[in-house]
């Protein structure tokens, strides 16, 4: 009986006529990003030298937390992993502020500065956790990192469209 029911249901499902709806492309043309001026290109190239180290440092900060949670709960090891990351973010800030920023990109630059400050604060929050064990530090640090990473993407949208390819 059960088998018969299954057969009937399967037959109804598989063999009943279905209305085919072919894929319809609704692609709408989107405006291409504005080409950067020579001055803006120069700024983007200078910022990239910092940015290419910011992204692995941001991911390294997440991974310090991931390893702590999944491997060993070793606060000293977490501290050892975070210290160079916090140092990097601290050192990168003055480098960033020294860049010559075209007026047209002042908002973009501010976003990047804000992101870097957030990453530095996040790393300090995580380091605070290694001192007092209060998990709220980790949650706060995570929220800051997420916001910083979103800002990084907003900047990337203007300066380096295409930095992440289909994977």
Partner 1 sequence: MTRLGIGLRLMASLVATFVVLVLLGGTVAQAQAPVCSVWLIESSRFMKVPFGAFMPDRAFVPGSNSPSNNIPTVDLPVNVGVIKCGSDLILYDTGWKQQDYLKMTGSDHWAPIAEQLKVLGFNAADVTKAVIGHAHWDHAGQLSDLPNAVLYVQKQELAAIEWALNYPEKHIRAINSDPGGCNRTPACGYMPLTMEEVYGKILKGKAVVVDGEMEIAPGVVIHPAFRAHTAGSQLLEVPTSIGKLVFGSDAFSSYEAIRDWMVANVQQTDSVQQFLAYERCYKITGGYENCVAAHEPLSYTDKYPLTKNSWVALNGGRMAEIALAPGEKSRKP
Residue 23 binds partner 1, judged by CB under 8 A:
yes
**Are 33 and 158 a contacting pair, CB within 8 Å?**
yes
Of 87-95, 96-104, 106-114, 135-143, which segment contacts partner 1 by CB under 8 A? 135-143
Least Cα distance to 47 among 92, 107, 2 occurs for 92
Binding mask 37-56 for partner 1 (x = CB under 8 A): -------xx--x--xxx-xx
DSSP E strands in 8-132: the ranges are none
Give the contacts of 131 (CB within 8 A, at least 6 positions apart).
none
Q: What is the CB neighbour count within 10 angstroms for residue 158?
A: 17
Please work out the total of residues on this chain that contact partner 1, with binding judged by CB under 8 A: 60
User: Which residue ranges make up the site for partner 1 (CB under 8 A)?
Assistant: 2-3, 5-6, 9-10, 13-14, 18, 20-28, 30, 32-33, 44-45, 48, 51-53, 55-56, 58-60, 62-63, 65-67, 69-70, 138-139, 142, 145-146, 148-150, 152-154, 156-157, 160-167
């Amino acid at each position: 009986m059960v088998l018969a029911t299954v057969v009937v249901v399967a037959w109804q499902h598989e063999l009943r006529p279905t209305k085919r709806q072919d894929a319809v492309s609704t692609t709408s043309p989107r405006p291409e990003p504005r080409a950067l001026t020579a001055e803006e290109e120069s700024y983007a190239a200078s910022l990239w030298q910092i940015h290419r180290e910011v992204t692995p440092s941001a991911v390294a900060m997440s991974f310090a937390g991931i390893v702590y949670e999944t491997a060993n709960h070793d606060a000293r090891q977490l501290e050892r992993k975070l210290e160079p990351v916090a140092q990097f973010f601290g050192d990168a800030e003055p480098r960033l502020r020294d860049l010559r920023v075209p007026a047209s990109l002042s908002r973009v630059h501010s976003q990047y500065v804000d992101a870097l400050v957030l990453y530095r604060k996040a790393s300090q929050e995580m380091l605070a956790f290694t001192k007092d064990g209060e998990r709220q530090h980790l949650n706060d640090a995570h929220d800051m990192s997420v916001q910083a990473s979103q800002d990084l993407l907003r900047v990337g949208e203007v300066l380096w469209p295409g930095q992440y390819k289909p994977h």
